[in-house]
Amino acid sequence: MIRLEGITKSFAGKEGAVVALDGIDLTIAKGEIFGIIGSSGAGKSTLVRLINLLERPTGGEVFVAGERVTDAKGERLRDLRRSIGMVFQHFNLLSARTVAGNVAYPLELTGQYGRVEIAERVAALLARVGLSEHAKKYPRQLSGGQKQRVGIARALASEPQVLLCDEATSALDPQTTGAVLDLLRQINRDLGVTIVLITHEMDVIRRTCDRVAVLDRGRVVEEGPVTDVFLHPRHAATLRLVREAEPDGGSLDAVAASDLGGRAVRLTFTGAAAHQPILGRIACENLVDYAILAGRVGHIRETPYAQFTVSLSGRDVAGAIAGLRASGVDVELQAGIPLPQLEERPRHVV
Amino acid sequence: MSFENLYWGDIGAALAQTLAMVGGALLLTVLVGLPLGILLFLTGRQQLFQAPVAYGSLSFVLSIIRSVPFIILLIVLMPVTVLVTGTSLGIRGVIFPLVVGTAPFFARLVETALREVDRGIIEASLAMGASTTQTIFRAVLPEALPSLLAAITVTAIVLVDYTAMSGAIGGGGLGDLAIRYGYHRFQTEIMLVCVAILIVFVQLIQASGNRLVTHFSRK
Ligand SMILES: Nc1ncnc2c1ncn2[C@@H]1O[C@H](COP(=O)(O)OP(=O)(O)OP(=O)(O)O)[C@@H](O)[C@H]1O
Ligand SMILES: [Mg+2]
């Protein structure tokens, strides 16, 4: 659906050029929810703005729906933008228009719909996002979550194939964030719209996305299905983002196994395995004891997962590890994994 | 001081002239100044049609006109006024210099008002496939409406001031009456009445301007 090839983007700054994106290759499939995560200044906004050409790349090519659009202009550019909806962190609603007027705006622009048709479509869109009773209100009379729903309805008005969301939930409280993410997933399911979701929160990715790319200083440092990237982060930048979403950094801390007199392993159970008493059974069978050193349990979208770092000791540790693997558990020997050095982040003092 | 032998007829006529001058000049000022302001906005730094040379030249010319005191502008413009309107006297003769005097001021206010519109709104409009023209007329101007109305109010009050001044060189109106009777013939009461009417007039403009601004503010 979207393909970026060798994208670079630099901005002229006071002290020379600022390289915001440095050789990006990405392919986003039709109908998926693709997450792009990175810390502040990583280049996320610049990247997403390239897709609808709010920003022109310095180098490289942009393809949308198989068509090269890198230097689209005039009517072609406007057509492209109509096929790509965009949702913004700060909503960017027209304060002079009502909720219905905001949603009608993109329809009015095309000049091809009559009043009645616009009214019908607006009503349907507002019903979809659950704002029918607020149609006549002005944006300032709405809560943040409601404003973002207007933003989503507006972005869907021209029946786009792609929805770009730049930090769409970053200005919202956790509960509202959940509701807006649910709405996006529902839209993805019902309409088959491809969604590109930009965020700096791993939680948003975990709950919403199929695949994710991690952006760090203008480069994609890691990319893949969310289950892989979230449970087995490789790059230091990814690790940092995962740790931020976990109390105490979850089970990601390297453990000095020798200090514990056992074999430290990280066990990852996903899907059905997460709900079965595998660890206990195998420990019994092999006369092995285990101490849980760290862990995290939850869901990646609908898939349950459990990940523990345990120290195994006793009769047949090797047999236990083989047994766990045979039961579909992912076992990583901790000592054998060179974990990237992490600087300890200072806690926020309230 | 006595108010018995006031020339109410003259005062009424002068008020009508002032209204006509302010109204006509305001209309033309908006018609000339609004496009100029939009042009300044569009060509400005980091804006939709960033064009430093165009912006710089326009800005320079407008600033020059604004730095000439209005009374001097009136005199300097006289030959041009005669060329454009056929006379330098009366309402017709005075509206041209009034517009030249206030349009640059109004254009600046328009530029500032448009610049205050959230960039995110412009970006959202473009992202939805709007052309620049559509973005200006359907998003930026409506968003800036309260500020534009405030700018028109301020400009109208400046015009009241300028019409009084232009009265001095044959423009007519309340200012002219006040100067002719109050200053040249020592009939202070006429001057006082004229000034009182001007005060009420300005208050009315300000009050109705404020009401309009409030009415259209949705923020
Ligand atoms: N218009 C611009 N002019 C100059 N530099 C820019 C511009 N836009 C972005 N940059 C620079 O490019 C880099 C990437 O910015 P970008 O906004 O894409 O980051 P981001 O990942 O979206 O960050 P955030 O999470 O803070 O929104 C930053 O160093 C920023 O200063
Ligand atoms: Mg950003």
Instruction: Tell me whether strands A211-216 and A33-37 are parallel, antiparallel or unpaired.
Output: parallel
The fold of B8-216 is MetI-like fold (1.10.3720)
Q: Could you tell me the distance, in angstroms and rounded to a whole number, from the CA of residue A245 to the centre of ligand 2? A: 19
Looking at residue A345, its pLDDT comes to: 44
Pocket of ligand 1 (CB under 6 A): A 11, 13, 18, 20, 38, 40-46, 200
In a domain, A320, yes or no: yes
Are B70 and B101 in contact, with CB atoms under 8 Å apart? Answer: yes
Low-confidence ranges of chain A (pLDDT < 50): 256-258, 336-350
Three-state DSSP at A210 gives coil
Lowest mean pLDDT among A134-138, B91-95, B156-160: B91-95
* Whether residue A19 is found in the same domain as residue A97: yes
Are B189 and B6 in contact, with CB atoms under 8 Å apart? Answer: yes
Looking at residue B84, its pLDDT comes to: 85
Domain boundaries, chain B: 8-216
Domain finish residue from A244, A278, A297: A244
In a domain, A349, yes or no: no
* Whether residue A128 is found in the same domain as residue A233: yes
* Whether residue A139 is found in the same domain as residue A240: yes
Instruction: Report which of A201, A296, A209 is spatially closest to residue A241, judged by C-alpha positions.
Output: A201
Are B157 and B202 in contact, with CB atoms under 8 Å apart? Answer: yes
Q: Could you tell me the distance, in angstroms and rounded to a whole number, from the CA of residue B201 to the centre of ligand 2? A: 51
* Whether residue A150 is found in the same domain as residue A272: no
Radius of gyration of chain B (CA): 20
Q: Is A159 on the interface with B (CB under 8 A)?
A: no
Structural domain that includes position A98 = 2-244
In a domain, A84, yes or no: yes
Chain B nearest-CA residue for A86: B127
Q: Tell me the CA distances in angstroms from B5 to B11, B175, B182, one per residue in order.
A: 12, 19, 14
Sign of CA dihedral B163, B165, B166, B170: positive
Three-state DSSP at B140 gives helix
Non-local CB neighbours of B72 within 8 Å, separated by 6+ positions: none
Q: Is A48 on the interface with B (CB under 8 A)?
A: no
Are A168 and A87 in contact, with CB atoms under 8 Å apart? Answer: yes
Looking at residue A258, its pLDDT comes to: 46
Are A326 and A269 in contact, with CB atoms under 8 Å apart? Answer: no
Cβ A110–B129 below 8 Å, yes or no? yes
Report the predicted TM-score, pTM, of the whole model to 2 decimal places.
0.88
* Whether residue A188 is found in the same domain as residue A146: yes
CATH at residue A143: 3.40.50.300
Non-local CB neighbours of B123 within 8 Å, separated by 6+ positions: A54, A88, A92
Q: Residue B6, Cβ neighbours under 10 Å: how many?
A: 15
Task: Record the tokens describing residue B219, joined without a space.
Answer: 């923020």
Domain finish residue from A193, A210, A244: A244
CA distance A300 to A249: 17
CATH at residue A300: 3.30.70.260
* Whether residue A147 is found in the same domain as residue A48: yes
Looking at residue A349, its pLDDT comes to: 42
Contacts of B145 in chain A (CB under 8 A): 96
Looking at residue A342, its pLDDT comes to: 41
- Give the environment of ion ligand 2: residues with CB less than 5 A: A 45
In a domain, A63, yes or no: yes
Q: Could you tell me the distance, in angstroms and rounded to a whole number, from the CA of residue A142 to the centre of ligand 1? A: 29
Average pLDDT, chain B: 90
**In this predicted model, which residue has the larger pLDDT, B219 or A315?**
A315
Interface of B with A (CB under 8 A): 118, 120-121, 123-131, 134, 138-139, 142-143, 145, 216, 218-219
Task: Identify which of B124, B131, B218 has the shortest CB distance to residue A92.
Answer: B124
First CA to last CA across chain A, in angstroms? 45
Chain A nearest-CA residue for B130: A109
CA distance A229 to B201: 71
First CA to last CA across chain B, in angstroms? 52
Looking at residue A335, its pLDDT comes to: 59
ipTM score over 0.90, yes or no:
no
In a domain, A345, yes or no: no
**B-interface mutation test, from A45, A91, A109, most B Cβ less than 10 A away:** A109
Chain B nearest-CA residue for A53: B127
Looking at residue A260, its pLDDT comes to: 59
The total number of structural domains that make up chain A: 2
In a domain, A342, yes or no: no
Looking at residue B157, its pLDDT comes to: 96
Q: Is A141 on the interface with B (CB under 8 A)?
A: no
* Whether residue A260 is found in the same domain as residue A239: no
Domain finish residue from A221, A244, A267: A244
Cβ B145–A92 below 8 Å, yes or no? no
Non-local CB neighbours of A4 within 8 Å, separated by 6+ positions: A24, A25, A26, A27, A47, A50, A51, A60, A61, A62, A63
CA distance A186 to A188: 5
Half-sphere exposure of A175 (CA within 13 A, CB side): 2
Q: Is A320 on the interface with B (CB under 8 A)?
A: no
Are B128 and A158 in contact, with CB atoms under 8 Å apart? Answer: yes
Buried b vs exposed e over B53-80: b needs ≥16 C-beta within 10 Å? eebeebbeebeeebeeebeebbeebbee
Average pLDDT, chain A: 89
Structure confidence at residue B5 as a pLDDT band (50, 70, 90) = low
* Whether residue A240 is found in the same domain as residue A257: no
* Whether residue A313 is found in the same domain as residue A285: yes
Q: Give residue-wise pLDDT tens across range B104-157.
A: 999 999 999 999 999 999 999 999 999 999 999 999 999 999 999 999 999 999
